[in-house]
A and B are shown apart, each in its own frame.
Chain A
Amino acid sequence: QLQLQESGPGLVKPSETLSLTCTVSGGSISSSSYYWGWIRQPPGKGLEWIGSIYYSGSTYYNPSLKSRLTISVDTSKNQFSLKLSSVTAADTAVYYCARGYSSSWSKIDCWGQGTLVTVSS
Chain B
Amino acid sequence: QSVLTQPPSVSGAPGQRVTISCTGSSSNIGARYDVHWYQQLPGTAPKLIIYGNNNRPSGVPDRFSGSKSGTSASLAITGLQAEDEADYYCQSYDTSLSGWVFGGGTKLTVL
Contact = CB atoms under 8 A, between A and B. Distances in A.
B86 to A, nearest CB: 13
Contacts of A39: 100, 102
Interface in B71-92: 89, 91
A113 B45 contact: yes
B52 interface: yes
Contacts of B99: 37, 49, 51-52, 60-62, 105
Given A46-B2, A46-B102, A107 B51 contact: yes
Given A39-B100, A51-B99, A114-B45, A109 B105 contact: no
A121 interface: no
A46 B107 CA distance: 11
A47 interface: yes
Given A46-B102, A46-B104, A108 B93 contact: no
Nearest to A105: B93
A104 interface: yes
Contacts of A104: 33-34, 93
Contact of A47 (B34, B52, B89, B98): B89
Contact of A37 (B33, B97, B98, B100): B100
Given A47-B102, A49-B102, 11 more contacts: A47-B89, A47-B105, A49-B97, A49-B99, A52-B99, A106-B52, A107-B34, A108-B91, A109-B57, A113-B44, A113-B45
